[in-house]
Amino acid sequence: MPGRVIETVGELRSLVGEEVGVSGWYEIPQEKIDGFAELTEDRQWIHIDRERANMESPYQTTIGHGFLTLSMLSHLSREAVELRGAFKMRINYGLNKVRFPAAVPAGAKIRARFAVGAVEDVEGGVQVIWKVTVETEGGGKPVCAAEWVVRAYY
């Protein structure tokens, strides 16, 4: 169940510049990191070699891939906000900007904050630019900051 329900495009437009939803906390265990490494064939030691990471990494543990964090946006967004109305489908259209200012240590919990950056008309629907900040529980810096472009079609 989403934290915030937006009923109309008009309501969505009125929220430009505002944070509209925050997801719940979601744990990133080592098993998820290992699975992502296998799926993407990105098996860099800092992600999967616990012993080496403990000795050589500045984090003293393995860390999740930045792209793993990014791939969680769809799931986290469903917990944070729901756009209702006359839409038949929503698609991930892309990203304008993405940064990974801090790492996600194995076992950390993340959550995402969603703000409406812009709402633009496109043929057959609207394009929403979500300004997303992903943070770790107890962390200082964000672990991901992104402008995520989603299109919702009538």
Which CATH number do you get for residue 130?
Answer: 3.10.129.10
Distances (CA, A) of 91 to 22, 51, 150, 151: 20, 40, 6, 5
What was the pLDDT predicted at 53? 97
Structural domain harbouring 34 = 4-153
* Confidence class for position 3, pLDDT limits 50, 70, 90: confident
Task: Give the model confidence (pLDDT) of 22-37 as tens digits.
Answer: 999 999 999 999 999 9
The total domain count for the chain is: 1
* Confidence class for position 56, pLDDT limits 50, 70, 90: very high
Query: CA-to-CA distance for 51 and 1, rounded, in angstroms?
Result: 39
135 contacts 111 by C-beta, under 8 angstroms: yes
Query: CA-to-CA distance for 21 and 113, rounded, in angstroms?
Result: 6
126 has which bridge partners?
A: 121, 152
